[in-house]
């Protein structure tokens, strides 16, 4: 029998009517003869409302108590969903993260899954029941406390269950039809992808694509879980996120998608002495703040001065603390000054086919320069090229690049390249 894990987010279960709609979809999946496990988020804005309530009684809510509070959101929606399904004549049982065997470390608010032992879920399936599991939460064995998994927690719950149960597919239900070649609100000609590799999805998510959380994609990739991202509003096929076996001879489009990100800022450390160890020193200072650095660019030093500039990007939210930390160490580190720029936009083109095709960078740079868009930083991986431009040109840049790589809907999809070895 096929085992399907389905994940429904907060907007899918925002009220009683939505819950009944989702219950109907789940029942149809079960009726078709599949074993069904569901991971569900809290209803609508419940989590934000609970966080707000917490701040009304305490400016810095205790992390353990905050997790106890927030996990009620998923408990409410899972119980209601189970009730609705039973009302339709199908056996359904809800399980908290703890009851479903989601074992985590003790990091309240951002717990990592260390083990998944879904014994009770498996029993429920063996008895023919649908199992509903609260997303976003787990249990720490040492402290015997409830934990929450942080952003993307419900997606991660779904994927972790799928991996542990050996599910055939993990369906992630969302507001849009699937993964698009670019954000359709920015690039109107974007079209839905039938299929991406998990590697590409990882790069797209890291580059700013919002439809799936990096963490869930990475978990799926590591554990060989197939994802199907689809709309909760219709029955259309969405986007399959598959793991690509090494050397698999599959036609790959060179560029799968274009992602844009306006959430980052750039810090330039000006006049760094070009001697061994300086870069390490600077990034150690930065690392101690806990900030997540994205792109790093260092140019060759000017021969005359022996000084160089190092630029890096990071979330705007982390800008202040990093600047503060660097200023504090300026004398020791020996750099001349700091520049802060929060008007940057980051564009990334992602495609597994890039690995074997030359000329992609050139094509990208040419498309941008033809459109009069200046490139300020460049960073690449095997299947991704990222560039930094002015924030106010990002949208244009995305559309230009989308067109240049033949991704516009109704056009001849993409330029394929074979992957023979």
d(CA 420, CA 99): 48
Among 3, 40, 78, 133, binds a second copy (CB under 8 A): 78
- With binding defined as CB under 8 A, does residue 26 bind a second copy? no
110 interacts with a second copy by CB under 8 A: no
122 binds a second copy (CB under 8 A): no
Please answer whether residues 416 and 354 qualify as being in contact, where contact means their C-beta atoms are separated by less than 8 angstroms. no
400 interacts with a second copy by CB under 8 A? no
Stretch that binds a second copy, among 74-82, 152-160, 193-201, 272-280 (CB under 8 A): 74-82
**Calpha distance 97→245 (Å, rounded):** 32
Identify whether the C-beta of residue 317 lies closer than 8 Å to the C-beta of residue 294: no
Stretch that binds a second copy, among 78-86, 240-248, 278-286, 407-415 (CB under 8 A): 78-86
User: Closest approach of Cβ 318 to a second copy, in Å?
Assistant: 26
Count CB neighbours of 303 within 10 A. 7
> Is 7 annotated as ligand-binding?
yes
CA distance 150 to 156: 10
Residue 12, CA distances (Å) to 17, 233, 352, 385 in order: 10, 9, 32, 34
8 is known to lie in a ligand binding site: yes
H/E element, 140: strand 137-140
- In whole angstroms, the minimum distance from the beta carbon of 230 to a second copy comes to 23
Nearer Cβ to a second copy (21/151):
21
23: contact with a second copy by CB under 8 A: yes
Per CB under 8 A, does 89 bind a second copy?
no
Question: Which of positions 139-158 make contact with a second copy (CB under 8 A)?
Answer: 144
Nearer to a second copy, 118 or 351 (CB): 118
Torsion angle in degrees (nearest 10) through CA of 204, 362, 299, 311 = -30
Tokens of 292: 């997540």
What is the sign, positive or negative, of the torsion defined by CA atoms of 175, 200, 137, 170? positive
Of 144 and 421, nearer to a second copy (C-beta) is: 144
Query: Which of residues 11, 25, 99, 151 is near a second copy by CB under 8 A?
Result: 99
What residues pair up with 265 in beta bridges, in sequence order? 314
Pull the structure tokens for residue 405.
């790589």
Binding residues for substrate: 47, 74
Which residues contact a second copy (rule: CB under 8 A)? Answer: 16, 19-20, 23, 50, 53-54, 56-62, 64-66, 68-69, 71-72, 75-76, 78-84, 86-87, 93-94, 96, 99, 120, 144
Binding residues: 7-10, 47, 74, 174-175, 185, 210-211
């Amino acid at each position: 029998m096929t085992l399907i894990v389905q994940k429904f987010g907060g907007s899918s279960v925002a009220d009683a009517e939505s819950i009944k709609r989702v219950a109907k979809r789940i029942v149809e999946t079960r009726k078709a003869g599949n074993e069904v496990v569901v991971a569900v988020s809290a209803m609508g804005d419940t989590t934000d409302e609970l966080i707000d309530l917490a701040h009304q009684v305490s400016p810095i809510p205790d992390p353990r108590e905050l997790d106890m509070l927030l996990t009620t959101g998923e408990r409410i929606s899972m119980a209601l969903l189970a009730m609705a399904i039973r009302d339709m004549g199908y056996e359904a049982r809800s399980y908290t993260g703890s009851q479903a065997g989601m074992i985590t470390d003790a990091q309240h608010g951002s717990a990592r899954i260390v083990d998944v032992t879904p014994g009770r879920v498996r029993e429920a399936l063996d008895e023919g029941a649908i199992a509903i599991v609260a997303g976003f939460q787990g249990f720490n064995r040492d402290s015997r406390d409830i934990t929450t998994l942080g952003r993307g927690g419900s997606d991660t719950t779904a994927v972790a269950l799928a991996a542990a149960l050996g599910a055939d597919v993990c369906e992630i239900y969302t507001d849009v039809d699937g993964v698009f070649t670019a954000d359709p609100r920015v690039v109107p000609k974007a079209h839905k992808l039938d299929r991406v590799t998990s590697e590409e999805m990882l790069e797209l998510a890291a580059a700013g694509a919002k439809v799936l959380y990096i963490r869930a994609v990475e978990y799926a990739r590591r554990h060989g879980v197939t994802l199907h991202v689809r709309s909760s509003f219709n029955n259309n096929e969405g986007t399959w996120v598959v793991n690509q076996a090494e050397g698999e001879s599959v036609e790959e489009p060179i560029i799968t998608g274009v992602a844009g990100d306006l959430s980052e800022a750039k810090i330039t450390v000006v006049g760094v002495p070009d001697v061994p160890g300086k870069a390490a020193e600077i990034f150690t200072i930065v690392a101690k703040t806990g900030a997540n650095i994205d792109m790093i660019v260092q140019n060759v030093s000017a021969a005359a001065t022996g000084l160089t500039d190092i630029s890096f990007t990071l979330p705007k939210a982390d800008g202040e603390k990093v600047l503060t930390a660097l200023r504090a160490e300026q004398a020791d580190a020996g750099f001349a000054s700091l520049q802060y720029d929060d008007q940057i936009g980051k564009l990334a083109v992602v495609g597994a086919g890039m690995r074997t095709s030359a000329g992609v960078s050139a094509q990208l740079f040419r498309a941008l320069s033809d459109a009069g868009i200046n490139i300020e930083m460049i960073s690449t991986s095997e299947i991704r090229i990222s560039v930094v431009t002015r924030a106010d040109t990002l949208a244009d840049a995305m559309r230009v690049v989308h067109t240049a790589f033949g991704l516009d809907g109704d056009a001849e999809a993409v330029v394929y390249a074979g992957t023979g070895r």
